Structure 1
Amino acid sequence: MSGSQRLLDVGAAIWAAQKSHPFVTELAAGTLDEAAFEHWVRQDYRYLQDYARLFAVAGTKARDEETMTDLLGVAHSVLDTEMDLHRSFAADYGISRGELEATEKAPTCVAYTNFLLRTAYEGSLAEIAAALYPCMQGYLDVADHMAELADEEHRYTPFIELYTSDEFRAEVDWCRGFVDDCWDASPGQQEAMEAVFLTSAKLEYRFWEMAYTEEGWGL
């Protein structure tokens, strides 16, 4: 069994919980409250800034030119393409780039990004691979599930199309290969990879909950 599949098997219950979360099912149906989606856009924009940093730091830890190029390339893609698409989503709801950048991270977003960056700076390349995997594979799997649930086009169809696109599938395929390479090259770190993966996956689930409840600091 490949390392990427082993991690997915370990996280199967979390994957099932994500797919059944009301944010996911209501977005698929087109009935999700706009305020919840706007909250997701704002928070995910801030999240992506640090997700790009995760790839950039990973690139500095890579020991071969091809892996370094791939990791830094993903960091650039997140900053140049995915965040631009988030700005487009935001503009549809009257949210400016300045407002996105000024958004205060909700507690769950703080917890998730802090975990990713701590893993980036303190962990091995194998642990970083496990930390970044739930986001990429999770969004593809959840979006595929949304596409199956959706009966017709609606205001959230562009979200589903973004994360089921050929371009995104290619990124996820690369990510799986990266995880597999790290798993095979670092047998002594496989237990640590599982632990990091599960924490990251749980935070992915909590991110949906954060957006759905419009979580804030209450201050």
Structure 2
Amino acid sequence: MSYGNTFPLWRAAAGDHWPAYTRHAFVQGLADGSLPRDAFMHYLVQDYIFLIHFSRAWALAVSKADTLDEMRHCAATVHALLNQEMGLHVKLCGEAGIAEADLIAAEERPENLAYTRYVLDIGHRGDFLDLLAALAPCVLGYGEIGARLAASDHAQTYAEWIGTYGSRDYQDLCHEVAALIDASVARRIGPEPQTSPRWGLVCERFTMATRLEVGFWDMGMTP
């Protein structure tokens, strides 16, 4: 799956960390239904907490943006996170007897804290592009995973999760975010970003966030 022009370059720069994330044993367990239910529920609870901080990071991007178009894109992403993606977590957890109040009160795992605070720290220290590089692995990685699993034979156990990230709506969001990244790169680095001395740093932001995604899956495997 390819979203835009910059994302494939960042994905390649991440090297083996990218398949370690998108083809993790947790992902395979979602595909074939072998992931233990308690591991999935543990992941959902932590991911609910993650999305709270992720929404804050996208809200921070609104204040970091240089243009109204950038602001609108980021604000729309915040809306989608708060009112759509988090709703999936509330629904699935509710069906398992976990109330939203329990999600809010859940203890945050260190792996979750490390990832979300890294993204927020990059957002506060860097500019709009730095923040997008740290945000991209989650948004576009889940899109890549969702599209691949939805297009292949998969067990029905986690079909709703797969269907959410493989859906037209989520894929459209990924293409919109990729276009936002491409425009941000052109605006802040120029038409040949790989020749800029700044290129290596934004690739490092993306790669570190990818590594933290691997740690998040690892956490999901050990409830």
Same fold per TM (> 0.5)? yes
| Cα deviations by residue, 1:8-36 (Å, 9 ceiling, x for unpaired) | 11124222112432211111111210110
Q: Which residue of 2 aligns with 1:213?
A: 222
1:197 to 194, 198, 206: 206
Structure-2 separation of matches of 1:95 and 1:199: 32
Q: Which residue of 2 aligns with 1:44?
A: 47
- Equivalent residues of 2:21, 2:211 under 8 A apart: no
1:142 to 122, 140, 145: 145
Q: Does 1:33 align with 2:36?
A: yes
Shift of 1:148: 4.8
Q: Does 1:56 align with 2:59?
A: yes
Shift of 1:145: 3.0
Unmatched 5+ residue regions in structure 1? 215-219
- Which runs of structure 2 are paired with 1:95-114 in the superposition (5 Å)? 95-114=98-117
TM-score, normalisation: structure 2? 0.90
2:163 to 126, 140, 161: 161
Unmatched 5+ residue regions in structure 2? 190-195
Across the aligned residues of Structure 1 and Structure 2, the Cα RMSD in angstroms comes to 1.5
Structure-2 separation of matches of 1:146 and 1:15: 16
List 4+ stretches of structure 1 deviating above 6 A.
Answer: none
Q: Which residue of 1 aligns with 2:121?
A: 118
Shift of 1:149: 4.9
- Equivalent residues of 2:149, 2:166 under 8 A apart: no
Q: Describe the SS at the equivalent of 2:117.
A: helix
- Equivalent residues of 1:19, 1:145 under 8 A apart: no
How many residue pairs get aligned? The number is 213
Percent identity of equivalent pairs: 28
TM-score, normalisation: structure 1? 0.92
- Equivalent residues of 1:3, 1:184 under 8 A apart: no
